[in-house]
């Protein structure tokens, strides 16, 4: 989408989301005139934790009024496209403490194209969370996904090599977790949560699927294209985060 059409689409989506968004947002934030903490200097400063449900990885200021949930498979080429186009807008709002990002990690691509690269990548991402490096490692994996897929998908060797690009991530503990699939239970549980999110479709909602304060922009839906342009996705996030609390 371009120009007026994209702007109009943003407006339509925001109107459709208004009910869910206003209910989900807190009384904190820029529209109330309250004090806003200083932005994070970079991804490496972002808080990250495993939520109480045991499968959601949350990145960003816990007090952020807007929650953006991403359903992603590390081997999905459409997710790779999103991470290179729309996701930078989300990263910026997360750094500004306007949003926090909740990740549900899928691994269905292994069944569709063969191999176990998705499962290995999800396990490695969980190990990176323990080291406080999830957000940084996540960015590195998607920046190098095409290269890994050409080689047959993520392997233990490639995951460890890519981890070397994240300062402070490689360690005996991290390497062992990657090599032994320490977080296999997390991988399995996350896959089940993803599948359940598909509602009537047992295969899951598709990746990437984006929920903004519980309002869903679905894979292949009418407004899906908004996610793949930084400008339009940024406009959408700006309007949602600025709605009355």
Task: Please give the model's pTM, rounded to 2 decimal places.
Answer: 0.85
- Residue 18 maps to a domain: no
Is residue 71 within 8 Å of residue 109, measured between CB atoms?
A: no
143-172: pLDDT as tens digits: 998 887 777 789 999 999 999 999 999 999
- The pLDDT assigned to 242 comes to 67
Number of domains in the chain: 1
Helices (H), 25-113: 77-84, 87-95, 109-113
DSSP string covering 26-53? -S-SGGGT---PPPPSSGGG--EEE-TT
- Residue 15 maps to a domain: no
- Residue 30 maps to a domain: no
Whether residue 221 is predicted with pLDDT greater than 80 in this model: the reply is no
- Residue 205 maps to a domain: yes
43-95: pLDDT as tens digits: 999 999 999 999 999 999 999 999 999 999 999 999 999 999 999 999 999 99
Neighbours of 150 (CB within 10 A): 8
- Residue 13 maps to a domain: no
Is cis: bond before 208, omega within 30 of 0?
yes
Is residue 106 within 8 Å of residue 194, measured between CB atoms?
A: yes
172-213: pLDDT as tens digits: 999 999 999 999 999 999 999 999 999 888 889 999 999 999
**What is the share, in percent, of the chain residues with pLDDT greater than 70?**
83
Buried b (16+ CB within 10 A) or exposed e, 101-140: bbbbbbbbbbeeeebbbbbbbbbbbbbbbebebbbbbbbb
- The pLDDT assigned to 3 comes to 40
Which residues, other chains included, contact 76 with Cβ-Cβ below 8 Å and sequence gap of 6+? 106, 109, 207, 208
- The pLDDT assigned to 90 comes to 96
- φ, ψ at 141 (rounded to 5°): -60, -45
- Residue 98 maps to a domain: yes
Task: State the residue range of the domain holding 116.
Answer: 44-224
- Identify the CATH number of the domain in which residue 196 sits: 3.40.30.10
- Residue 207 maps to a domain: yes
When the pLDDT of each residue in the chain is averaged and rounded to a whole number, the result is: 85
Is residue 217 within 8 Å of residue 13, measured between CB atoms?
A: yes
Can you tell me whether residue 164 is helix, strand or coil? coil
- The pLDDT assigned to 16 comes to 41
> Residue for token digits 């407004």?
223
Whether residue 11 is predicted with pLDDT greater than 60 in this model: the reply is no
User: Is 23 or 90 the better-scoring residue by pLDDT?
Assistant: 90
- Residue 233 maps to a domain: no
């Amino acid at each position: 989408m371009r120009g007026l059409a994209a702007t109009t689409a943003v407006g339509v989506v925001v109107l459709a989301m208004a009910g869910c968004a206003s209910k989900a947002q807190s009384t904190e934030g820029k529209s109330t005139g309250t004090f806003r903490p200083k932005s994070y200097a970079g991804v490496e400063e972002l808080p990250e934790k495993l939520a109480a449900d045991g499968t959601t990885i949350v990145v960003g200021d816990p007090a952020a009024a807007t929650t953006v949930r991403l359903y992603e498979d590390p081997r999905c080429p459409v997710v790779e496209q999103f991470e290179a186009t729309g996701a930078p807008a989300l990263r910026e709002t997360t750094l500004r403490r306007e949003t926090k990002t909740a990740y549900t990690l899928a691994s269905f691509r292994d069944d569709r194209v063969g191999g176990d690269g998705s499962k290995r990548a999800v396990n490695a991402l969980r190990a990176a969370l323990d080291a406080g490096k999830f957000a940084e490692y996540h960015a590195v994996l998607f920046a190098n996904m095409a290269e890994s897929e050409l080689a047959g998908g993520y392997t233990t060797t490639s995951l460890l090599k890519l981890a070397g690009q994240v300062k402070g991530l490689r360690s005996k503990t991290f390497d062992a977790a990657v090599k032994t699939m320490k977080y296999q239970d997390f991988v399995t549980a996350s896959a089940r949560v993803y599948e359940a999110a598909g509602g009537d479709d047992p295969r899951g909602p598709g990746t990437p699927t984006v929920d903004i304060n519980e309002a869903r922009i679905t894979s292949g839906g009418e407004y899906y294209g908004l996610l793949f342009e930084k400008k339009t996705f940024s406009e959408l996030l700006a309007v949602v985060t600025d709605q009355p609390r």
